[in-house]
Amino acid sequence: MTIDIPHNIASLAMQINVNYGQFELAIDQRFSLDGIIGVFGPSGSGKSTLLRSIAGLEKHLVGSITLNQRNLINTKNNHVVKPQHRQIGLVFQNSRLFTHLSVHENLHYAVKRCHDNRLSLGEVVELTELAPLLAHNVVKLSGGQQQRVALARALLAEPKLLLLDEPMSALDQRSKAKLLRMLLTIQKKLNIPMLYVSHSLAELQQVCDNLWVLNQGKITNFGNIHKVIHQLNYSNLNDKQTSLSLPIELINNGYGLTQLRLDAEQTILLTTQKYFNHLTQLRCFILANDISISLKKIENTSIVNQVFGKIKQINQQQHNALITVQCGEQDFFVMISQFSVHTLSLAITQQVFLQFKASAVRTFIH
């Protein structure tokens, strides 16, 4: 499976095998690295092992890895570039700050060992909002602050590729949202390709354009994030859902609802949140269980969203059915009971209305 990638775009080619007896990671693929790429998979699927392999920390690796035409490892001819020479950054789940150094000294540790020095410490401190914390002892910081220091430290090493290994798994929802927004800003400003590992699709959906799915040591899906999330609806890896990225048409219609443009005729309403003000496009998702189907448009209902579409596919799953409904260019996924499928006599190409409340349209910060 190789894809032709133009030379000016960063690329990562891997042909690797990491064997731990009961667990094996086996990847043979070439990817273009653009923006933030999500790596999703259940626990034990090999996500951390993959990142450790790329960073050069995995000792059991056999095979080769090439980043931007530079061969990092090729065990066939005993070529191994040590982690300190790879110029690949890694932000760990548990920050791993140097406890004998202050925040500023932790950041300076990276600056001192960086050969390029195109980025200034001040610039990175500003991007990560660390200025008030510089003199602090790292152990006294909160989890969210520690991860910001870890992120800043990794950026100051000016990596060609930044790996993020579940950097937010220990944080509360508010800190996560803050760090996610920070990450997006940083990516846009510094244009460093990033691989972002998480077991939370909601988190990845907010920041990634592309997604790799890792399951039992193999990459099973990759591509546009919304497409891959929809492919996952047919697996048991996540909650079945419709993943959307839509233009914001009107923030707060006077009732605290925001209007998104679905297609030429239809819009979707959802509850307004403060951070929408900075956006023109909004990423959100609707769980398949939160949508219902009717054959006619329902009048006099409190449900604010009614979307018209055509049934594309019906997947029977025990007593339920996962129904794919095409509304313009967008596919919606609806989970209803087999009983309802029979009662309504639903069939492929049939035209239907989907109903869901404004509160069913979820964003990451819900």
Partner 1 sequence: MLTSDLQALLTTLQMAGLTTLILLVIGTPLAWYLANMKSRFKVIVEALVALPLVLPPTVLGFYLLIAFSPEHLPGQLWQQATGQQLAFSFSAIVIGSVLYSLPFVVQPLQRAFEQLGDSLLEASAVLGAGALDRFFSIILPLTKTSFITAATLGFAHTVGEFGVILMIGGNIPGETRVLSIALFDHVEAFDYARAHMLSIGLLVSSMVILAIIYWLNLTHTDKRLSPKYKQQAEHSIDD
Binding positions for partner 1, rule: CB under 8 A: 55-57, 82-90, 92, 94-100, 109-110, 113-115, 138-146, 153-154, 157, 170-172, 174-175
Reduced to 3 states (helix: H, G, I; strand: E, B; else coil), residue 194 is strand
114 or 190: whose CB is closer to partner 1?
A: 114
CB of 315 to partner 1, least distance (A): 40
107 or 260: whose CB is closer to partner 1?
A: 107
Alpha helices in 216-320 (DSSP H): 225-232
Contact 282, 246 (CB under 8 A): yes
Cβ-based burial of 190 (10 A; exposed 0-12, middle 13-18, buried ≥19): middle
CB of 178 to partner 1, least distance (A): 8
114 or 248: whose CB is closer to partner 1?
A: 114
CB of 279 to partner 1, least distance (A): 23
CB of 102 to partner 1, least distance (A): 13
114 or 257: whose CB is closer to partner 1?
A: 114
- R_g (Cα) of the chain, nearest Å: 23
Q: Round to whole Å and give the CA distance between 290 and 306.
A: 13
Residues in the chain: 366
139 or 347: whose CB is closer to partner 1?
A: 139
CB of 109 to partner 1, least distance (A): 6
Question: Which residues, 6 or more positions from 156, have their beta carbon under 8 angstroms from its beta carbon?
Answer: 107, 110, 111, 114, 119, 121, 124
Q: Round to whole Å and give the CA distance between 243 and 253.
A: 23
CB of 80 to partner 1, least distance (A): 13
- Beta bridge partner(s), residue 19: 24
67 or 321: whose CB is closer to partner 1?
A: 67
CB of 154 to partner 1, least distance (A): 8
Distance linking the first and last C-alpha atoms of the chain: 38
Question: Which residues, 6 or more positions from 199, have their beta carbon under 8 angstroms from its beta carbon?
Answer: 40, 41, 42, 43, 47, 166, 169
Q: How far is CA 295 from CA 13, 291, 353, in A?
A: 49, 14, 6
CB of 61 to partner 1, least distance (A): 15
Q: Round to whole Å and give the CA distance between 163 and 169.
A: 15
Amino acid at 47: K
